[in-house]
Amino acid sequence: MSEMYVAKYIAKSFAIASRMLGGEMMIMSAVDSTFFTLNPVASVIWQAADGFTPLSEIVTRHVCREFEVDPETAYRDVEQFVEELSSYGILQVSEIPFPASSAAPTEAA
Amino acid sequence: MTLMLEMSQRALDLGVPMSVHFDITYRCNERCVHCYLDHDNHGEMTTAEIKRVLKELAEAGTFFLTFSGGEVLMRSDFFELLEYARYLMFNVRIKTNAVMIREREARRMVELGVEQVQVSIYSHRPQVHDGITKLPGSLRRSVQAIRFLTQQGLRVVIANVLMTTNMRDSAGVQAMARELGVPYTLDPTITPKMDGDATILKLRIPGAELDGVFHNESLVGNVEEFCAPPPRPDEDVMEGYPCSAGHTLAYISPYGDVFPCVQFPLPSGNVRRQKFIDIWKHSSELNHVRAIRAKDLTVCSGCSHVGTCTRCPGLAYMEGNMRGPSTADCEKSFHRTGIRSADMLRKDNDKGRSCAPGPLIQIQSAVA
C-alpha cells in the first residue's frame, strides 16, 4: 500500500461476542446488547482484526485477493466500514499496534 | 423479521446449536423448596474437560452461552471458565442466586464482558424469600449483589419464580426491581425433579392465581392482545416445530450429559465420551425430537391453542409422551384465554363417560 495511507491498526473491542453463521459474522455488544451481522467482506475484515496487522495489509491480503477489488477502492470502503464499527464501539482503531493483551482473540469458528 | 430472528432461522436451517445452557455444577448454597436438582456432586467435569467442551461448542457455532447451575460460584474455577468462554467469543449470560457476588466478583464479570446476569428473587419479604431458599440472609445478600453488579454497569434481570408460597409477592418483587433499576421477569413454571419425582409440583400456583397473572397489565403488557383467543392454526403452524429444544438449543449437565433443553431430560449423549458435534448431529434422540412437527402431536395437533400455546415438549416428556400435551401449559393456555384445551376437553369427556350409566341397548353388527 502506498504512503498516502496513515498506518492504522484495528482490534475487536473486548466487550463483544462474535461467531460466524452461514458466511456472516454475528456480533453482540455486551455493553448495550446491540446485535449486528456483517456481510462476507466485512466478516473477513473482522476476522483479520488482530490488533497488529496494518489495515492496509488486511485490505491487500484479504479483501483485494478474495473479492477481486482494486486496492484504492477497497481501502476507502474498508476505512468507512471500520469507522462505522468504531462508532458503535465494537472495533478499536489506532495508529500504532495494540498491545497483545488488549486485542480480543480470533473466533474459534 | 428482526435481525435476531433472521439469524435464529438461519441457525435452524443450518442445524447450528446457536444457544447452549451449560450447568457447570449442581452444587448450591441454597436449598430452594421448588428446585428440581440433586445438589450432591456425582463427579462434575473438571476444568480441563469443561474447557474442551467450550472449545467444541465454539467450533460447532454456538453463540449464546448460559452458565448456570446449581450456583455457578460454588465452582472455585468459575472465573477461569468464564475467562476462557469469553476468550472463545461467546455471548455469556449467567444465572445465579448472587449471594456470593461482592464488588470484586462484579468487577471481574464486567471486565470479562458478561452480557447479562439473571438473579433469582422470590419475594421482597426476607421471611418469604429466605423461607424458599432455606438460607437465612439470602435476600439481603442477593439484593446487595444486584447493587454491586449494576454499579459496575452490568445488565441484571430479576427472575421471579412463582409458587404457592410467594404467589402474592410478585408486585413487591416488581417494585423492588424498579427501585433497583433492573428488568423483572416472572415464571410460574414448577417442573418435576430431574429424577422424575413430581412431589414438588404441589407448589404450582392454582389456576385462579394464573388468571390474575395473565390479566395483569404490568406483567404481560397488552392484556387484550396477550389473552386473545388463538387464531385458527394454518399450515405453517402445523408444519412448524414445537420449540427450539434440540433444534438450535442444547443443554449440558455438570456430568457431561447432553439433553435437548434444561427442561427436557431426554439423555442424548455425553461429551465425556463423544465430541459435542457428533452428539448434536447424530444422536438418535435429538434427531427424534427434531422430526416432530406440530401436526404430529397426539392431542395438541387438534387443539385450537396449537399455534400459540407455550407447550413444553420436555414437560410433556416428563408426563410420559414427548408428543403429548403438557398439562401445565394446557392450564396456562386456558387461564390466559378462557378456552379449554383439547386435552382438557378430552379429560372432561373421559370423566363424563366414567360417571355415565352404561348404554341401555348394545348393538353389534352381525357381520364378522
Q: What is the pLDDT along chain A (109 residues), one digit of tens a residue?
A: 444 567 899 999 988 999 999 999 999 999 889 999 998 888 999 999 999 999 999 999 888 887 778 888 889 989 999 999 999 989 999 999 998 765 555 554 4
Neighboring chain A residues of B85 at a CB cutoff of 8 Å: none
Report the C-alpha gap between B3 and B231 in whole angstroms.
26
Report the C-alpha gap between B261 and B264 in whole angstroms.
5
Report the C-alpha gap between A18 and A107 in whole angstroms.
7
**DSSP β-ladder status, A50-54 and B184-187:** unpaired
Predicted complex ipTM: 0.86
- Shortest Cα–Cα distance, B157 to chain A (Å): 13
Report the pLDDT value the prediction gives residue A108, as an integer from 0 to 100: 47
- Shortest Cα–Cα distance, A92 to chain B (Å): 15
- For residue B114, give the nearest of A20, A30, A35 by CB distance: A30
Most A CBs within 10 Å: which of B63, B112, B116, as the mutation test of the A interface? B63
Report the pLDDT value the prediction gives residue B145, as an integer from 0 to 100: 98
Q: What is the DSSP string of B244-272?
A: SBTTTEEEE-TTSBEESBTTB-----BTT
In this complex, is the C-beta atom of B61 within 8 Å of any C-beta atom belonging to chain A? Answer: yes
Minimum Cα–Cα distance from B14: chain A residue: A22
This prediction has a pTM of: 0.90
Per-residue pLDDT tens, chain B, 368 aa: give them. Answer: 788 999 999 999 999 999 999 999 999 999 999 999 988 889 999 999 999 999 999 999 999 999 999 999 999 999 999 999 999 999 999 999 999 999 999 999 999 999 999 999 999 999 999 999 999 999 999 999 999 999 999 999 999 999 999 999 999 999 999 999 999 999 998 988 877 788 999 999 988 888 888 998 988 889 999 999 999 999 999 998 878 999 999 999 999 999 999 999 999 999 999 999 999 999 999 999 999 999 999 999 999 999 999 999 999 999 999 999 999 999 999 999 999 999 999 998 887 665 544 444 444 444 43
Minimum Cα–Cα distance from A101: chain B residue: B87
Residue B156, beta-bridge partner list: B117
CB atoms within 10 A of CB B295: 15
For residues B84 and B118, is the Cβ–Cβ distance under 8 A? no
In this complex, is the C-beta atom of B60 within 8 Å of any C-beta atom belonging to chain A? Answer: yes
Minimum Cα–Cα distance from A36: chain B residue: B3
Neighboring chain B residues of A109 at a CB cutoff of 8 Å: 58-61
Neighboring chain A residues of B18 at a CB cutoff of 8 Å: 21
Report the pLDDT value the prediction gives residue B255, as an integer from 0 to 100: 97
Report the pLDDT value the prediction gives residue A69, as an integer from 0 to 100: 82
Label residue B221 exposed, middle or buried (CB < 10 Å: 0-12, 13-18, 19+). Answer: exposed
- For residue A17, give the nearest of B3, B59, B89 by CB distance: B89
Neighboring chain B residues of A50 at a CB cutoff of 8 Å: none
Report the pLDDT value the prediction gives residue A105, as an integer from 0 to 100: 53
Q: Where are the beta strands (DSSP E) in B162-231?
A: 184-187
Q: Do A19 and B61 touch (CB under 8 A)?
A: yes
Residues in chain B, how many? Answer: 368
Q: What is the largest CA-CA distance in chain B?
A: 84
Q: Do A21 and B114 touch (CB under 8 A)?
A: no
For residues B73 and B100, is the Cβ–Cβ distance under 8 A? yes
- For residue A35, give the nearest of B3, B11, B62 by CB distance: B3
Q: What is the DSSP string of B129-178?
A: HHHHHT-TTHHHHHHHHHHHHHHTT--EEEEEE--TTTTT-HHHHHHHHH
CB atoms within 10 A of CB A58: 24
In this complex, is the C-beta atom of B155 within 8 Å of any C-beta atom belonging to chain A? Answer: yes
For residues A67 and A60, is the Cβ–Cβ distance under 8 A? no
Report the pLDDT value the prediction gives residue B197, as an integer from 0 to 100: 85
For residues B336 and B227, is the Cβ–Cβ distance under 8 A? yes
Neighboring chain B residues of A37 at a CB cutoff of 8 Å: 3, 6-7
Classified as helix, coil or strand, B334 is helix
- Shortest Cα–Cα distance, A97 to chain B (Å): 20
- Shortest Cα–Cα distance, A38 to chain B (Å): 11
Report the pLDDT value the prediction gives residue B356, as an integer from 0 to 100: 47
φ, ψ of residue B21 in degrees (nearest 5)? -100, 115
φ, ψ of residue B156 in degrees (nearest 5)? -115, 140
Q: Do A21 and B87 touch (CB under 8 A)?
A: no
* pLDDT digit string, tens, across residues B95-130: 999 999 999 999 999 999 999 999 999 999 999 999
Q: Taking CA B342 as the corner, what is the angle to CA B341 and CA B344, rounded to the nearest 5 degrees? A: 65
Report the C-alpha gap between B227 and B233 in whole angstroms.
16
- Shortest Cα–Cα distance, B293 to chain A (Å): 24
The residues of A whose Cβ lies within 8 A of any Cβ of B are 14-22, 24, 26, 28, 30-31, 33, 35-37, 104-105, 107-109
- For cell 461482592, what's the residue? B102
Report the pLDDT value the prediction gives residue B366, as an integer from 0 to 100: 44
Report the pLDDT value the prediction gives residue A5, as an integer from 0 to 100: 60
Rg (CA), chain A: 13
In this complex, is the C-beta atom of B116 within 8 Å of any C-beta atom belonging to chain A? Answer: yes
SS in 3 state form for chain A?
CCCCCCCCEEEECCCEEEEEECCEEEEEECCCCCEEEECHHHHHHHHHCEEEEEHHHHHHHHHHHHHCCCHHHHHHHHHHHHHHHHHCCCEEEECCCCCHHHCCCCCCC
Residue B91, beta-bridge partner list: B64
Minimum Cα–Cα distance from A37: chain B residue: B3
Most B CBs within 10 Å: which of A12, A16, A18, A19, as the mutation test of the B interface? A19
- Shortest Cα–Cα distance, A4 to chain B (Å): 35
Report the C-alpha gap between B139 and B98 in whole angstroms.
10
Chains A, B: CB contacts within 8 A come to: 69
Neighboring chain A residues of B55 at a CB cutoff of 8 Å: 108
